[in-house]
């Protein structure tokens, strides 16, 4: 059944009116028509069954018919802390990490980041929503506002005690680090930008309780390292395979 994400506030309307881009997606891309059933999911992951009352390229009207049970979310709580990347590399990381099931992504500016600012936050949220929809997720991961590397250790609500910072120069084998994690931990994965983290940043993370790990003897591109790290940890902790 086709599915779309809507804000909880919009679902209070009777009937629910979907406009513009999402209406176009339903009517022109998915070819939904009057009488079709769809699933709508809000930002809390609560899904509802709905029926289309009328559909056009700019406005789709639906009626909520009841709750809809679905749970495709990972049992693991993985937050990716990603050093800003150039070009479309950041888009790729957000898309693939969302497909894999991370619960949040924190873009950070590091010493070696070639980008020092960005206005792409709305774009990244859209990419995450589209990737969640495509992969059948019932939640869209939180895309945090871009911050400096140092700020992530002082952000209210974030405790990086179960963090892993990946460094190509030295660190424990990832398999050894994973053995220290629990399936119920909130796990933060810190991946550097092009050029990786500086020694100062690795030392700061270590002082704040993060474990330092490597992904092997070969140096991976930043976007490859992010996707690999999430996948390996999911497999090792039983979420994949």
Q: Which CATH number does the domain housing residue 191 bear?
A: 3.40.1280.10
Q: Are 116 and 136 part of one and the same domain?
A: yes
Q: How confident is the model at residue 2 (pLDDT cuts 50, 70, 90)?
A: confident
Say yes or no: 119 and 180 in one domain: yes
Same-domain check for residues 120 and 58: no
Please state the φ and ψ torsions of residue 161, each to the nearest 5 degrees. Answer: -60, -25
- The per-residue pLDDT of the chain, averaged, comes to 87
Find the mean pLDDT for residues 217-222. 86
Q: Specify if 241 maps to a domain.
A: no
In a domain, 72, yes or no: no
**Same domain membership, residue 185 and residue 86:** yes
pLDDT band at 92 (very low <50, low <70, confident <90, very high): very high
- 157 pLDDT exceeds 60? no
- Same domain flag for 123 and 191: yes
* 3 state DSSP class of 52: strand
Nearest residue to 3 via CA among 50, 44, 46, 38: 38
Burial (CB < 10 A; 0-12, 13-18, 19+), residue 205, is buried
Given a cut of 90, whether residue 182 has pLDDT beyond it is no
pLDDT of residue 241: 67
Mean pLDDT, to the nearest integer, of 89-93?
Answer: 94
pLDDT given for residue 102 in this prediction: 95
Number of domains forming the structure of the chain? 2
The whole-number pLDDT of residue 160 equals: 63
Please check the confidence at residue 240 and state whether its pLDDT lies above 80.
no
pLDDT at 25 over 60: yes
Q: Are residues 116 and 232 in the same domain?
A: yes
Same domain, 18 and 131: no
* pLDDT above 80: residue 36: yes
Same domain (yes/no): 108, 219: yes
Does 13 have pLDDT greater than 90? no
What's residue 131's pLDDT?
A: 94
pLDDT of residue 117: 72
Is a pLDDT exceeding 80 seen at residue 111? yes
Element (H, E) at 188: strand 186-191
Residues facing 66 on adjacent strands: 49
Whether residues 129 and 206 share a domain: the answer is yes
Distance in angstroms (rounded) separating the CA atoms of residues 22 and 18: 7
> Which pLDDT score, from 0 to 100, does residue 184 have?
77
In a domain, 38, yes or no: yes
Q: Are 100 and 53 part of one and the same domain?
A: no
Range of the domain at 61: 3-67
Q: What are phi and psi of 25, to 5 degrees?
A: -60, -45
- Is the domain of 14 the same as that of 129? no
CATH of the domain at 45: 2.40.240.20
Top mean-pLDDT range of 25-29, 188-192, 215-219: 188-192
Tell me whether residue 133 is exposed, middle or buried, using C-beta atoms within 10 angstroms of its C-beta: 0 to 12, 13 to 18, 19 or more.
middle
| Same domain (yes/no): 38, 92 | no
pLDDT above 80: residue 3: yes
């Amino acid at each position: 059944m086709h599915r779309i994400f809507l804000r909880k506030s919009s679902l209070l309307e009777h009937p629910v009116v979907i406009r513009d881009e999402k209406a176009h997606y339903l009517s022109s891309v998915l070819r939904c028509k009057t009488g079709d059933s769809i699933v709508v999911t809000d930002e809390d992951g609560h899904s509802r069954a709905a029926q289309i009352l009328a559909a056009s390229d700019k406005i789709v009207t639906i009626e909520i018919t009841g709750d809809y049970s679905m749970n495709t979310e990972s049992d693991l709580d993985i937050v990716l802390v990603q050093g800003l990347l150039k070009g479309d590399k950041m888009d790729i990381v957000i898309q693939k990490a969302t497909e894999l099931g991370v619960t949040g992504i924190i873009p950070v500016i590091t010493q070696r980041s070639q980008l020092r600012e960005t206005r792409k936050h709305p774009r990244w949220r859209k990419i995450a929503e589209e990737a969640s929809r495509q992969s059948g997720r019932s939640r869209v991961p939180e895309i945090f506002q871009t911050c400096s590397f140092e700020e992530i250790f002082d952000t209210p609500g974030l405790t990086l005690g179960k963090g892993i910072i990946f460094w190509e120069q030295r660190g424990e084998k990832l398999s050894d680090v994973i053995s220290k994690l629990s399936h119920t931990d909130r796990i933060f994965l810190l991946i550097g930008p092009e050029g990786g983290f500086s020694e100062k940043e690795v030392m700061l993370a270590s002082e704040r309780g993060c474990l330092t790990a490597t992904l092997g003897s070969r140096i991976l591109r930043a976007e490859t390292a992010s996707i690999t790290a999430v996948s390996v940890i999911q497999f090792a902790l039983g979420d994949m395979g």
